[in-house]
Amino acid sequence: MKLLVVGGGCREHALCWSLGQDPEVKKLYAAPGNAGTALHAENLPVAADDIGSLTALAQELRPDLTIVGPEAPLCAGITDAFGRHGLSVFGPSARSARLEGSKSWTKALAQRYGIPTAEARSFDDPLEAISFSRGFPFPQVIKADGLASGKGVFIAADFSQAQQAIASLMQQRLHGAAGRRILIEAFLEGVELSAFALFDAKQYTVLGAAHDYKRVQDGDHGPNTGGMGAFLPSPFVSPALLRQIEESIFSRLHAACTAERLDYRGVLYAGLMVTREGPFLLEINVRFGDPEAQVLLPSLETPLSEIARATCRDELGRLHLRRHRRSLVGVVIASAGYPENPRLDDPILFSDSQTPTSGTQGFLFYGATKRSQGVLRTAGGRVFTAVGWGNRLVEARKHAYDQVDAVSFAGMHFRKDIASFLAGLPVPEPEA
């Protein structure tokens, strides 16, 4: 089998690593890839958002399947473009990808189909947004409607902070076109959770759930990022809660996709807030999360290629999904200045014990990295995800931070509290 992975971050390295474990995969390409994907695949210098060039490349290579990592090419219609040439893509159509591309559109859909979600209003005019905010209960959540790489969300404790957030998104265009429209949403209290399911045209299958850490500093302080760490399984996710998530979120979302005739074949990532009243939908992402993919993919025993093929063929009903019984913790290692202004081109060094290959207790997934004149250097904000695994979270956490300790470059920073409050908790027993 010949496969193509689109993207160049830690998630895409995790995808290539996962596919590389499968003896059925004989040839693997990554576009554009990074220094880590090059360990498993042939990197091709085509940008992930260049749909025309990617389509031409795929016509030449004729991969059996393409797996798309980031959201931008999905929202730009890569699945539709490839489909016109008979090329199969694990990922939704552009119309379906609007579930991530427009938070206001998704909010309206959730309300129509009875999916629990916070009260919210959308605005195209900053003056109208400010007027509404003044009379809406605080704290408020203010979100860019479009794609902002996980950074377009602000929690405003008072009207002054709300005004600042509205101005930065709609007038200063902190995240460009993503802030032309915004949502002002009621603040929900609870435990945030990332839940994943596979959707095909006939049914869905729950894939798993993970906790992630969005703030840049320990204790959930500082600005939002694309994600600073993740872990699974969660001791908070009981079988009863999983059933509730399936019934109130995924079942209704799949019914909505069917009723709206959305052509959705791929993974669907629901950002949830688990409150005293149950799970509420915060947002939908139409791909694997990053850094959640780096802990979710190593938890799967069923080969990813088998999962993706079953999804694309509307055969999820025949898929036997098997999982490893282990805990996983991922810690993101970021460059100086991330998330506001990441520094580039810092040389990266490894300790003598660190090798860029999978170990029995962990792995280092490469993100924003490049090789220049034989030297590995930083090339963006999130440089690595150090992943550890073990029978308990305390073991997985130790192995993840062992991977962190083996890396050094100027200005590197990471959170030191990923899964720290969960040390020693056993993996929940599966249902009989």
- The pLDDT tens digits for 174-186 are 999 999 999 999 9
**Is residue 422 predicted with pLDDT exceeding 80?**
no
Span 145-164, pLDDT tens digits:
999 887 889 999 999 999 99
Q: What is the mean pLDDT of residues 109-132?
A: 97
User: How sure is the predictor about 4, in pLDDT bands with cuts at 50, 70 and 90?
Assistant: very high
- List the CATH code of the domain at 191-318: 3.30.470.20
Comparison of pLDDT for 256 and 354, the residue scoring more: 256
pLDDT band at 353 (very low <50, low <70, confident <90, very high): low
Closest C-alpha among 182, 66, 209 to residue 124 = 182
pLDDT of residue 149: 80
Calculate the average pLDDT of the chain.
Answer: 93
Q: What's the confidence (pLDDT) of residue 352?
A: 61
CA angle 227, 229, 232 (to 5 degrees): 120
Between 167 and 421, residue with greater pLDDT: 167
Scan for tokens 């100086």, then name that residue.
Answer: 336
The predicted model gives 325-333 an average pLDDT of 96
pLDDT of residue 235: 84
- Per-residue pLDDT at 290 exceeds 80: yes
**How much helix, strand and coil, in percent to the nearest 5, is found in the chain?**
30, 30, 40
**What does the pLDDT look like over 15-67, one tens digit per residue?**
999 999 999 999 999 999 999 999 999 999 999 999 999 999 999 999 999 99
Please tell me the predicted confidence (pLDDT) of residue 224.
87
Could you tell me the CATH superfamily of domain 327-422?
A: Phosphoribosylglycinamide synthetase, C-terminal domain (3.90.600.10)
Asked whether the predicted pLDDT for residue 358 surpasses 70, the reply is: no
Q: Do domains 119-186 and 327-422 have the same CATH topology?
A: no
Q: Taking residues 191-205, what's their average pLDDT? A: 96
Given a cut of 70, whether residue 430 has pLDDT beyond it is no
Euclidean distance between CA atoms 79 and 67, whole angstroms: 10
pLDDT in the model for residue 12? 98
Return the CATH architecture of domain 2-91. 3-Layer(aba) Sandwich (3.40)
Q: Which fold has domain 119-186?
A: Dna Ligase; domain 1 (3.30.1490)
pLDDT surpassing 90 at residue 234: no
Closest residue by Cα to residue 244 from 214, 209, 268: 209
Instruction: Specify the pLDDT at position 351.
Output: 85
User: Is the pLDDT score of 424 beyond 50?
Assistant: no
Separation CA 362–CA 270 (nearest Å): 27
Q: How far apart are CA 133 and CA 156, in angstroms?
A: 10
Contact 77, 94 (CB under 8 A): yes
The set of residues, in sequence order, having a beta carbon less than 8 Å from that of 146 and lying 6+ positions away, is 101, 102, 103, 152, 175, 177, 178, 179, 180, 181
What are the domain boundaries of the chain? 2-91, 119-186, 191-318, 327-422
pLDDT of residue 143: 95
pLDDT at 274 over 60: yes
By the 10 Å C-beta count (0-12 exposed, 13-18 middle, 19+ buried), 42 is classed as middle
pLDDT of residue 151: 82
Q: pLDDT at residue 429 above 50?
A: no
- Please write the tens of the pLDDT for every residue from 66-106: 999 999 999 999 999 999 999 999 999 999 999 999 999 99
Q: What's the confidence (pLDDT) of residue 373? A: 87
Q: Which two tokens stand for residue 227?
A: 């994600």
User: Full-prediction pTM beyond 0.85?
Assistant: yes
Answer with the residue of higher pLDDT: 97 or 428: 97
Is a pLDDT exceeding 90 seen at residue 421? Answer: no
